[in-house]
Structure 1
């Protein structure tokens, strides 16, 4: 049974191979976003086990940022 896709007026007509490729790309983007979100949640859960690391990383990153901005000012 063929699928009928609603086509917007501003989109050019595309063949089935191109449409499948675009659908696959969208699916992969969605899948990567889900995997990235899951990874972020996992890392956040691990960091919550060690709240001292969050403070240390913040201090180290702010120190590094100050060094970079100071180097550009010279």
Structure 2
């Protein structure tokens, strides 16, 4: 009879473990999102001090993009 009583408990334990695992996954996803947001804000804050780097990077990306477009149309 004790074997009969153990089965529902093990089922409840596995449900609880699955629920905890899902909660942990959600918690970690939320934590990663917060960390990513904080890193992006920190990077933006650091880049504000150097606007010439932003402009140079933007111009460089435009030049690289136009070279790729020119080589693609030449084929």
Same fold (TM over 0.5): yes
Q: TM-score, normalised by structure 1?
A: 0.72
Which has the larger share of helix?
2
CA-based RMSD: 1.6
Structure 2 unmatched runs, 5+: 1-13
TM-score, reference length from structure 2:
0.71
Deviations along 1:1-20, one digit per CA (max 9) or x if unpaired, are xxxxxxxxxxxxx8111111
Task: Map residues 1-74 of structure 1 onto 2, 5 A cutoff.
Answer: 15-73=15-73, 74=75
Aligned residue in 2 for 1:10: none
| Aligned counterparts of 1:41 and 1:17: Cα–Cα separation in 2 | 36
